[in-house]
Structure 1
């Protein structure tokens, strides 16, 4: 039985290539939702919990995020905030085809490709100057026509240059482009994502990649930034997160369904990756993502 499903939002782009929005808190716009567009999202006021895919973490004023297509997200202000906030969220939504066309016309914009790939898992731009971010959001808001697009691109260039990009959700975590070794690593990633509940050894993965175990381990870590066993566990924990907030299955059942062989090991890895137990994760998600709770867009 599904407990929480994101609301699907349709955005009409027939007359504009980007969409600027801002809203306060509380508001009817606050909900757990997803859409086909990327979203660059700035938090102007309040503190609370950010929900991006299977990620749950803290947000505070000045936080800046980029979410990719169809990645569910929500920002939930802590209940201690009792006064109304005029402007809590400032955001811009844009689609993949616009940026693809831009890269064709101006190849220099290909530099953004890696950031957009990471955004499929959600990015927080840690330490980004909040005054700069808000000023540029206001410039986008106040501009019209081509000037609005120029203001948007100026901000996108700056966030792309920002060094500390924290990838948030395990889901859609890695997409590999290229040929040769990288393409073979990509085959292993696809295999893990589709067969996470099975026993997958390094030797089996190396066989899929058509490499020796030593060469595979080295290439996998250099490509993904994770050791293979760690990556498999991250995928399994990510799947468990989805089951925890989307079903009422018991934690022990979920543990075995995602491929862990014992509950203690599952709980240990979950706590390490999410800084909370599976039960705490479920309780937090079910409380803060419920439609009746004031949250964020």
Structure 2
């Protein structure tokens, strides 16, 4: 699929939208003028915001700015999951935040959201609890809940900016290649040997032109992307109680030592440490 502009309708009598989309079988590479706060709870998943491509384990909480292209966070998830999305537009910011001096920190947070901001730690725990309890019936209470959530995020130090450059839609509008085609190809071939020459032919580019295109769009090479995708799949299999050697071969690697080395490089710990840590958490 080419990048899509999503048309968002906010219900009459409300200034923002809260809902729980389920699009796991659909590649939805899209953007919209509305700012979006996404929470997804799953064993494992892919995060693609702007140029940043990474993975998450257990849950993810991300603030995405206006017109920043992103992939639906439940794309390709094969296990049970839960998702909450909050969307609000410029009118919400103008009417509720910009003119209020006490909301200066929230205004700064929203100004920075064009980079994509991922939250973790106690901040994520507190905000997720509030998101799950947000009032859907009482519109006044729901507005207070949202302002409380934004203030919690605004004063937090537990965050990571996902992009270093501006990746709003103006960067991607001239993109004639369908990212969905590339994702589909890798999803179908990650356990084999994804071939850059083959995908180059599929999208009608020379190999060198495709490599330049892909690096420009994602800040990583095609080989790096394949490795990240494989390791992301490996995390899912490890959490489903598969052995390390079984997972290694299942995601397309022939050397367990290389798999262990690459896993630690990308995840920050060995497959055995990762498996043990999350197995222990599931039993608590």
TM range (shorter): 0.5 to 0.7
For CA contacts below 8 A with separation 6 or more, give which structure has more relative contact order.
Answer: 1
Match of 1:64 in 2: 61
Q: Deviations over 1:80-106 (max 9, x none)?
A: x644x2x52111101122112223442
CA distance in 1, matches of 2:97, 2:24: 38
Secondary structure of 2:121's counterpart equals coil
Secondary structure of 2:86's counterpart equals strand
Match of 1:220 in 2: none
Match of 1:139 in 2: 133
CA distance in 2, matches of 1:151, 1:249: 49
Match of 2:16 in 1: 18
Q: Deviations over 1:145-182 (max 9, x none)?
A: 111000000000001111133222355269xxxxxxxx
1:61 offset after TM fit, Å?
2.2
Distance 1:98-1:283 versus aligned 2 partners, 3 A rule: same
User: Normalising to structure 2: TM-score of the pair?
Assistant: 0.58
Check conservation: 2:24, 2:75, Cα contact below 8 A. no
Q: Deviations over 1:40-68 (max 9, x none)?
A: 11112231210111210011223210001
**Structure 2: gaps spanning 5 or more residues:** 180-202, 233-284
Check conservation: 1:45, 1:62, Cα contact below 8 A. yes
Match of 1:100 in 2: 94
CA distance in 1, matches of 2:123, 2:154: 13
Secondary structure of 2:8's counterpart equals coil
Match of 2:274 in 1: none
Alignment of 1:37-48 (within 5 A): 37-48=34-45
1:114 offset after TM fit, Å?
2.5
Secondary structure of 2:102's counterpart equals helix
Secondary structure of 2:146's counterpart equals helix
**Structure 1: gaps spanning 5 or more residues:** 175-193, 195-237, 259-266, 289-297
Check conservation: 1:244, 1:281, Cα contact below 8 A. no
Secondary structure of 1:51's counterpart equals strand
Match of 1:227 in 2: none
CA distance in 2, matches of 1:8, 1:107: 33
CA distance in 2, matches of 1:67, 1:281: 22
1:75 offset after TM fit, Å?
4.1
Q: Once superposed, what is the RMSD of the aligned Cα atoms?
A: 3.7
